[in-house]
Chains A and B, each alone.
Chain A
């Protein structure tokens, strides 16, 4: 009996040792890949940071309004954030590459999914950034046009333009990364439809006179009042 136990234990130990001996080189490969990945990711971060500083990416994100959002969320600058993001994505990619060497069943499929997800994540980030840039540009254009045309509530108009564009961009981003696609689509449809209906009702009831004035001016029905004061002649 005692001999049987010793024999079983010895066999188990031998198998364990064999298994460990079999996996040890792979773990070493994993560590080496992870280390090499860290070095590559670090240099990638430094390189990306330099390039972004060179092209004044912070200035661009400032004009896009992204810098203000980051400051509110107590996050570092856009350049720093993007560099760190690139570092972690690259390093995580290398680690997962190393893990796949271990040959654990089921894990490889998940790793492949992760790598397939990366381009979509990148596209979503691009949509987000350029969307914010467009929102900032068009809201400022609306604000300036409204102020120069002496329209009432120019800031409200500007914020509305920004909000509509951001909602539109967010729905695109969620669709791209595949998060609650259907929910986002329905939510966006409801929100956008409600906003348009609200604007139409508001304009129809509250802006009746404004619409009349606009149409009269546009088609020249209105006559200039006698003795009306002139506009400035700049040139």
Chain B
């Protein structure tokens, strides 16, 4: 029997370790990172339990909750969730094995990286064959999610299953305008959701990531989900996508943009240095195996404050000129200043200019021209400008039009890749 080794044996609490040892080994593990999610967690755990009962009745399974210091009783709700609640009226649902629910508090304040690390460590210790992570915000979860995410890992030997959703056209603009096009251009894979909060992975990928990721590094901690996807790409693991259905629109505050950019763009930029040999020679992109639709679009009207987006873009360009001078080339900065002028009636942050901007930011991040965190923060106002253009372009278009625009942007990123390499290697 091979020896079980944890990447850092000291970071799990004794109580949590004792509970894991009592469980023994499992086939399926579902991780739920939480922090004050009492309102939604009940239905999510119920759906997870029902999914396990329905699709994996013969497998040994465990639900692991990694909690970041909830004060609303979230961990207790998970630990006490009775299997009968999940079974409900359907008495045909049963399990041949004990379904364990374990909750642990990894810290007194939430940290996504530590939550994922806790789940990965538990998966390694329990020798789980297939693991899924479900976001506590995924209130639209159905029992089918479990099989959609876990089956490709459990039976088809995929190592990472990423989700695709049916989203509102103004949802996930950072994904559609930066993460997806840039990841695709860099690594040559058409991964729609490089930053996934609902995903599944194999035990071997989990163990590999647990051992390799720089858990003490702040950037790695903040963007652990993105790093996970990128580690799977870099490691040559088998990746596929599964369609999960509707992704509900979550209300955000404008202050949420910078942390979101740190988690995603920061992680993407920081992964470029160690993976240079992997991406510098790649041209074009390939689709990856996908179950269901790649992306669906909801066209219902959703009011987004566009005026504010444009105003914040113009203010950003004007106020951050000294910062942009260290990051952007003079020609790019001049073009941005041109479109940011308030008298500019037909505002358009073109795909070509946006790709050039992002690539110059990536090169500046690599060269650390100023603090790397400041570089990510400086990109936020420019992203608002691009988001404004994207929303205007797609305001009256059909789902196909939206998809066509996203594809055109991706092709622009791919076309501009030599420019990224030129900037990366010190070109002006």
The interface bits of chain B over 318-331 (1 if a CB of A lies within 8 angstroms of the residue's CB, else 0) are 01100100100000
Instruction: Let me know if A233 and B319 touch, CB within 8 A.
Output: no
Check B303–A230 contact: CB distance below 8 A: yes
Per the bound structure, the CA–CA distance linking A140 and B322 in Å amounts to 9
A235 in the interface (beta carbon within 8 A): yes
Q: Return B36 CB to nearest CB of chain A, in Å.
A: 14
A144 at the interface (CB under 8 A from B): yes
Instruction: Check A234–B173 contact: CB distance below 8 A.
Output: yes
B118 at interface by CB-CB < 8 Å = no
CB distance from A213 to the nearest CB of B (A): 14
Instruction: Please give the distance in Å from B365's CB to the nearest CB on chain A.
Output: 15
Q: Is the CB of B323 within 8 A of A144?
A: yes
B303→A229 contact, CB < 8 A? yes
Decide if the interface of chain B is mainly helix, strand, loop or mixed.
Answer: helix
Segment with Cβ contacts to B, from A19-27, A119-127, A145-153, A165-173:
A145-153
Min CB gap B67→A, angstroms: 22
How far is A233 from B374 in the complex, measured between Cα atoms in Å? 22
Contact of B304 among A63, A143, A231, A235 (CB under 8 A): A231
Q: Which of B99-107, B121-129, B378-386 contacts A (4 or more CB under 8 A)?
A: B378-386
The closest CB in chain A to the CB of B257 belongs to A234
Q: Does A232 contact B (CB under 8 A)?
A: yes
Residue among A137, A148, A227, A235 with most chain B CB within 10 A:
A235
Establish whether residues A147 and B195, one from each chain, have CB atoms under 8 Å apart when the complex forms. no
Can you name the residue of chain A whose Cβ is closest to the Cβ of B302?
A230
Distance in Å from the Cβ of B268 to the closest Cβ of chain A? 13
The answer to whether A235 touches B195, judged by C-beta atoms less than 8 angstroms apart, is yes
Instruction: List the B side residues contacting A230 at CB < 8 Å.
Output: 249, 251-252, 302-305
Task: Tell me which of B250, B256, B311 has the highest count of chain A C-beta atoms within 10 A of its own C-beta.
Answer: B256
Q: Is the CB of B175 within 8 A of A235?
A: yes
CB-CB under 8 A from B261, the residues of chain A are 234
| Chain A residue at smallest Cβ distance from B371 | A137
User: Judging by beta carbons under 8 Å apart, are B174 and A234 in contact?
Assistant: yes
**What bracket does the count of chain B residues touching chain A fall in?**
35 or more
**With A143-B323, A155-B319, A230-B302 in contact, do A235 and B264 touch (Cβ < 8 Å)?**
yes
For residue A164, CB closer than 8 A to chain B, the reply is: no
CB closest chain-A residue, reference B378: A144
State which size class the interface on A falls in.
20 to 34
Chain B residues within 8 Å of A234, by CB: 172-175, 252, 256-257, 260-261, 383, 387
Q: How far is the CA of A209 from the CA of B139 in the complex (A)?
A: 37
In the assembled complex, the Cα of A148 lies from the Cα of B309 at a distance in Å of 11
Whole-angstrom distance between the alpha carbons of A227 and B303 in the complex? 9
The answer for the CA separation of A143 and B260 in the assembled complex, in Å, is: 19
> What residues on B are CB-neighbors of A9 within 8 Å?
none
In the complex where A230-B304, A230-B305, A234-B252 touch, is A147 in contact with B381 (Cβ < 8 A)?
yes
Is B377 in contact with chain A by the CB < 8 A criterion? yes
**A143, B320: Cβ atoms under 8 Å?**
yes
Considering only residues 134-187 of chain A, those with a C-beta below 8 Å from chain B are 137, 140-141, 143-150, 154-155
Q: What is the bound-complex CA distance between A108 and B65, given in angstroms?
A: 75
Interface residues of B in 375-418 (CB under 8 A from A): 377-378, 380-381, 383-384, 387
Q: CB-defined interface of A208-235 with B at 8 Å, one 1/0 digit per residue?
A: 0000000000000000000101111111
User: Beyond A144-B374, A148-B258, is A232–B323 a contact (Cβ under 8 Å)?
Assistant: no
Tell me how far the C-beta of A145 lies from the nearest C-beta in chain B, rounded to whole angstroms. Answer: 8
Measured between alpha carbons, how far is A234 from B303 in the docked complex, in Å? 14
Chain B residues contacting A143 (CB-CB under 8 Å) are 319-320, 323
Measured between beta carbons, the chain A residues less than 8 angstroms from B305 are 229-231
Contact of A150 among B175, B250, B312 (CB under 8 A): B312
Contact A148 B255 (CB under 8 A): yes
Contact residues in A for B258 (Cβ distance below 8 Å): 148
CB-CB contacts below 8 Å: B232-258 with A: 249-258
Interface residue B219 (Cβ < 8 Å from any Cβ of A): no
Q: Are B380 and A148 in contact (CB under 8 A)?
A: yes
Which residues on A sit within 8 Å (CB–CB) of B381?
Answer: 147-148
* B173 lies within 8 A of A233 (CB): yes
Also in contact, A233 and B250, with CB within 8 A (given A143-B323, A148-B381): yes
Top 9 A-B residue pairs of the complex, sorted by shortest distance between their CB atoms: A234-B174, A229-B305, A144-B377, A229-B303, A234-B260, A233-B171, A231-B252, A154-B319, A233-B252
- List 17 contacting pairs A-B, 8 Å CB cutoff, sorted by A: A140-B370, A143-B323, A144-B320, A146-B319, A147-B315, A147-B320, A148-B257, A150-B308, A155-B319, A229-B303, A229-B304, A231-B256, A232-B257, A234-B173, A234-B175, A234-B257, A235-B264
